[in-house]
Chains A and B, each alone.
Chain A
Amino acid sequence: MLVAGRMFALGMLIAICVLIIVCMELAKKNLPTFRKIAGLDALPEMIGRAAEMGKPVHYTTGLGELNTNMASQLVAGLSVLSYVSEICAKLGVRVIYTVYQSQVMPIATELMKEAYTRAGKADEFDADDQVRYMSGEQFAYASAVQGVAERERPAANIMIGPFYAESMLFAETFYRIGSIQLAGTARGYQIPFFAVVCDYLLIAEEIYAAGAYVSKDAVLTGSIRGQDVGKFIALILMLVGVILTLAGSNALINVMKL
């Protein structure tokens, strides 16, 4: 028995999931090409700059929590953290991950430890120093991160996850100390703040694609093509909706309300 008012959403969810799986399977035979994401391509350069300057890299996933609807953004941020940690380990750069939710700590610690192991530098990873729990309160966390910025002067600041009012506090503080910055969030209200202050920006869906993009895995990149096909479907639905509404029909609206 399906819940009334959610049938269309379920149908669309299943259709998009099938499309994504098909695209992932097709990608095994024919690797899709997609546009460059400047922010993600710049990561090795950002970390290289930190290596030259002998300064650390700061990483935050914002106010990401595993048990809220922001979990997907947190997972996206953690995927990039793994990649960043590996490059940092290879280049001998200390990466500092400041933690907002304590639940994330064991995951991040394990993930970074593995990244250092892959780089052959497992012994250089200092969990107590590099994975720092700050606070579970928004502005206490914001102040603590600002403190890290002012005292340790990271050469690069990477922020991927859900951000709220602290976005500008972070971006401006790191700008003032001369950090090169990459920011990415799917929270629409914070995107303009990051856009005006940060050097590189990942807009919404780009953060979800980031893990697949940096992995260069054929199957994962196939899922990005699936997302694009989903966008075409949304576009077609919008056009059909506009035409039907102009023609005085509520047919599509009624179908969506099923």
Chain B
Amino acid sequence: MSPFLFWVFALLTLIFGAAVVINRNPVASALSLVVSFLGLAALFISLNAYFIGIIQVLVYAGAVMVLFLFIIMLLDLRAEEGRQINWLASAGGLVVALILFGQIYSVVRHFTIARKAFPPLPGSTIDDVRNIGAALFGNYNLPFQIVGVLVLVATIGVVLLSTREPR
């Protein structure tokens, strides 16, 4: 991928990621999150992880965001838009986040192999889905089954939580 496209998608991801935090309206935050996830999917595809990129679009930009928008509209959260901001607390939180980023940056800067380019792949196309499937159903079969049970438990839990208890 050309450096120009990398920076376009990286900036798209970061600007709309910041918009999620800055927007006062929850619906605008959720829609910014969709754009941020689409940029992130493009970054995954630029790393030759086609399967992960497609899954990112289907699961996050599709299913998870519909869930978020559905809940925001169900609860009708517009009432808290007019609240004033506590500037001291906001500045404190921002400083803590900046310190965290400074630490990550200093670690990456002193990490000498991070300055090397990515090694070339053997061909122009790779069998991405086939290789992930072989790893998933071969080496990682037991964790895969356990994740299936986890999703089942989550489904039953959500149904139990969202039914009203009889009074």
The answer to whether A and B interact is no
A binding-site residues for B, Cβ under 8 Å: none
